[in-house]
């Protein structure tokens, strides 16, 4: 039996390839993050991890992803997909769930290196994991969230059929910001003309849905 069959999983879209994280990919991802992820005057993440990159060289990033991988169980899992365009790492897209067999819900999160913003990659990689979850895993609901002022992320969500599902206050830099919760039911998913190609699911599906 393969000790880590998730390493065989691949999602492919018209322009992107998504694979679960491995150390070589994570080292590339650190370099992407160090080149810039967002306007330094803003903080789009709940945990302000980009603020520490200059101090720790990306160690905190690596520890976060290693920890996520180490905690993986069928009842509480996150798959962190490293996203590549033309062989180059450009960002990360995750999808995760708790008690998936019962709830049939997933949540997603993502970021792109700043130089890759504005090309539609964020939409394409989120569509990839949504199709993966709805069409290949049998999910019924997908959840996401973004700051009220994160217009790019909220535009993507609206375009794909998400609806607002309440708000909550968070303070990643010590100042209250409004976090908008978003919900997408499978029936309301606005699909593109293309379909994601999924490879290697048979080898690892028992880790996700059992």
Rounded to the nearest angstrom, the gap between the alpha carbon of residue 153 and the centroid of all alpha carbons in its chain is 12
Residue 172 is predicted with a pLDDT of 63
Question: How buried is 82 (Cβ within 10 angstroms: 0-12 exposed, 13-18 middle, 19+ buried)?
Answer: buried
Provide the CATH number for the domain around residue 137: 3.40.630.30
Is the pLDDT at 160 greater than 90, yes or no? yes
Between CA 38 and CA 23 the distance in angstroms is: 24
The pair of structure tokens assigned to 22 is: 């491995």
Mean pLDDT, the chain, integer: 90
The per-residue pLDDT for range 182-200, each reduced to its tens digit, is 999 999 999 999 999 999 9
Between CA 125 and CA 154 the distance in angstroms is: 15
Could you tell me which residues come within 8 angstroms of residue 52 by beta carbon, excluding any fewer than 6 positions away? Answer: 60
User: Among residues of the chain, what percentage have pLDDT more than 90?
Assistant: 65
The number of domains in the chain is 1
Q: Specify the pairing of strand 141-147 against strand 105-112.
A: parallel
The per-residue pLDDT for range 131-147, each reduced to its tens digit, is 999 999 999 999 998 76
Between CA 140 and CA 203 the distance in angstroms is: 23
Neighbours of 145 (CB within 10 A): 22
Cβ pair 11, 81 in contact under 8 A: yes
Cβ pair 18, 83 in contact under 8 A: yes
Residue 130 is predicted with a pLDDT of 98
Between CA 36 and CA 113 the distance in angstroms is: 6
Residue 105 belongs to what domain range? Answer: 5-209
């Amino acid at each position: 039996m393969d000790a880590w069959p998730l390493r065989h999983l691949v999602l492919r879209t018209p322009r992107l390839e998504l694979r679960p994280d491995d150390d070589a990919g994570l080292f590339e991802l650190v370099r992407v993050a160090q080149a810039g992820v967002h306007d330094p005057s803003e903080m789009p993440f709940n945990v302000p991890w980009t603020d520490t990159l200059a101090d720790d060289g990306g160690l905190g990033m690596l520890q976060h992803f290693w920890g996520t991988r180490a905690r993986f169980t069928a009842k509480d899992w996150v798959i962190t997909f490293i996203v590549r365009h033309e062989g180059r790492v450009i960002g990360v897209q995750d999808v995760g769930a708790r008690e998936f067999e019962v709830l049939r819900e997933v949540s997603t999160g993502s970021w792109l290196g700043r130089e890759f913003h504005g090309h539609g990659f964020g939409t394409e990689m989120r569509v990839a994991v949504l199709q993966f979850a709805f069409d290949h895993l049998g999910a019924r609901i997908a959840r996401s969230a973004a700051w009220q002022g994160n217009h790019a992320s909220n535009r993507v969500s609206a375009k794909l059929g998400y609806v607002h599902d309440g708000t909550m206050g968070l303070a990643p830099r010590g100042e209250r910001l409004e976090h908008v919760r978003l919900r997408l039911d499978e029936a309301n998913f606005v699909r593109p003309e293309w379909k994601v190609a999924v490879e290697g699911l048979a080898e690892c599906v028992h880790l996700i849905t059992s």
